[in-house]
Structure 1
Amino acid sequence: MERVLVLLLLLITTVSGCGVTSYQPNNSRVVNGVEARPYSWPWQVSLESFFPTCGGTLIAPNWVLTAAHCITFHTYRVVLAEHDMNKEEGPEQSIMVAKMFIHPKWNDNCVSCGNDIALLKLEKSAVINDKVQPACLPQHGATLAHNQPCYVTGWGRLYSGGPRATTLQQALLPVVDHNTCSQGDWWGSSAKTTMVCAGGESEAACHGDSGGPLNCKGRDGKWYVQGVTSFVDGRGCNTPQKPTVFTRVATFIPWISETMARN
């Protein structure tokens, strides 16, 4: 009986946790993207209206974090445990979005002004299992070290102007600190302290990855969603000294917490 109780406790702890994956990601140092190991990023969601439009991150069983610029239609659903877009593989969970909350300071005519973040409340809670898990949220104000290895994931274009990926891709994007990213020959004043820069040159997110997570491993061994994919350089996804820019989740923790608590 005691052993059964211990097992039950372990199961409950795993389910109620965050940032833990049953299928270890391929943490190779490949910089220009590889197919992700299926279900190794169990918080990654595909945000879909009439077709897949963006990515997102499950942060609680019934809440998804995405980019404000992704919200252009009235009706959305999220698909969890998705890997190959062209196949019904079995574990997928498709859930309609009940409510959408765009950051009040978001200006859709000025992506580089920041606040490119939105929360989606789902019609029902996702079933948390070995292929669907929430990511951890960082502490308010947490910072990332220069060159810290993080991973971007999504089904975006494989390269500028290229085809969208059919299977989930991942790419290693080392963090570029704010002092570097805000230099004149980098992003200059477009890089705000409410943003995270990561990658550059051959390492980048691309169109279609928007709203998805910048996954960074914490010292506790758990994965944190430190960024929401926001924008890349207009000349192309892989422009030198123009790393991918993410909304810095750690600066929006009060808004996230308040929105989730009130709704």
Structure 2
Amino acid sequence: MMLLVALVALIGLTCAEVPFNHNVHNERVIGGHDAQPNSWKWQISLQMNLYDDTYFYHICGGSLISASYVMTAAHCILSPDAALYRVVAGEHNIYEYDGTEQFVGVERITVHPDWNDDLAKGNDIALLRLATPVYNSGFVEIANMPYPDQMLPHDYSCFITGWGLIDSIGGAPDVLQQSPIAVVEHSLCSTHEWWGSLALKTMICAGGDGLISGCQGDSGGPLNCLTDGEWKVHGVVSYGPSGDCNQYSKPTVFTRVSSFLDWIYAVS
């Protein structure tokens, strides 16, 4: 990965004792605040057994796109071995077991065929087939998707959600964080003063105000936007600046979901 842009998934890990008691160290969306419990019902925590020690560590976010599939970032896939991962749906307080969580193993991982470990080239998207489908408990919900090639206008207000770093030092909120974040149109984000040629049309830029951004641990999570009368997942957190995540003119960059719908539907 490019050092200038990587949102390294291994920073700010959270851990959870299998299957219920959460012993965690976790950080949040920069500039965010506590989300209401289970208000973003498609948000999941992607966790990994990194050290073969029976503990699962939060590495990324993701979105539930069907009862059997989760969408996340390709760079979140640290190993092709599906048995090392699990998905937690219905999660809110990552320190506690609230009874709303569903812990589900991963059966199969499908990374976009054009992903080549270079964030600047795009295609930073992957789908996880769950070992068992999640069930409708009232605390989980399937994400709505944008229409093909849909693009959002400049300054359109969306929400970023996740359990990512609060700053370059880190903090430890116990619950899912959310923050409004404004879209930066491609014509601006692709200028030299912003991300330049690193910003592709298959990406969405949002933020860049020096206050609000995604950060390590938010990777793979959703960009939630109210469009056509309903909340839809328009983006997947992909990259941001090295060092402090909330830098002026260096917004969080998301994989644009509307550019990959044919592939998503073909796989899932």
State the TM bucket, normalised to the shorter chain: 0.7 to 0.9
- Corresponding residue for residue 167 of structure 1: 175
Show CA shifts across 1:96-135 (max 9, x none): 0100000011111x11110000000001110123210011
- 2:76 matched to 1:53? no
CA contact (8 A) 1:156 1:164 kept: no
The CA distance in 1 between the partners of 2:172 and 2:148, in whole Å, is 34
Show CA shifts across 1:37-81 (max 9, x none): 110000000000121110000011111000000000322110011
Report how far residue 219 of structure 1 moved.
2.2
Report how far residue 164 of structure 1 moved.
4.7
- Corresponding residue for residue 223 of structure 2: 214
Structure 1 letter corresponding to 2:262: P
Identity of aligned residues (%): 45
Q: Normalising to structure 1: TM-score of the pair?
A: 0.85
Larger radius of gyration: 1
Report how far residue 158 of structure 1 moved.
1.1
Work out which of the residue numbers 71, 85, 108 in structure 2 matches 1:99.
108
Secondary structure at the counterpart of residue 60 of structure 1 = coil
Alignment: residue pair count: 229
Range that drifts further, 71-80 or 57-66: 71-80
Work out which of the residue numbers 64, 68, 77 in structure 1 matches 2:70.
64
Aligned counterparts, 1:1-263, within 5 A: 32-50=31-49, 51-73=57-79, 74=81, 75-108=84-117, 110-200=118-208, 201-220=210-229, 222-260=230-268
Runs (5+) with no aligned partner, structure 2: 1-29, 50-56
CA contact (8 A) 1:140 1:250 kept: yes
Report how far residue 169 of structure 1 moved.
0.2
Report how far residue 166 of structure 1 moved.
2.7
Report how far residue 161 of structure 1 moved.
2.7
Secondary structure at the counterpart of residue 40 of structure 1 = coil
Structure 2 letter corresponding to 1:138: P
The CA distance in 2 between the partners of 1:244 and 1:191, in whole Å, is 10
Give RMSD over aligned pairs: 1.3
Runs (5+) with no aligned partner, structure 1: 1-30
Answer 1 or 2: which has greater helix percent: 1
Structure 2 letter corresponding to 1:232: G
The CA distance in 1 between the partners of 2:137 and 2:144, in whole Å, is 16
Q: Normalising to structure 2: TM-score of the pair?
A: 0.83
Report how far residue 163 of structure 1 moved.
2.8
The CA distance in 2 between the partners of 1:132 and 1:60, in whole Å, is 11
Report how far residue 32 of structure 1 moved.
1.6
Report how far residue 240 of structure 1 moved.
0.5
The CA distance in 1 between the partners of 2:216 and 2:169, in whole Å, is 9
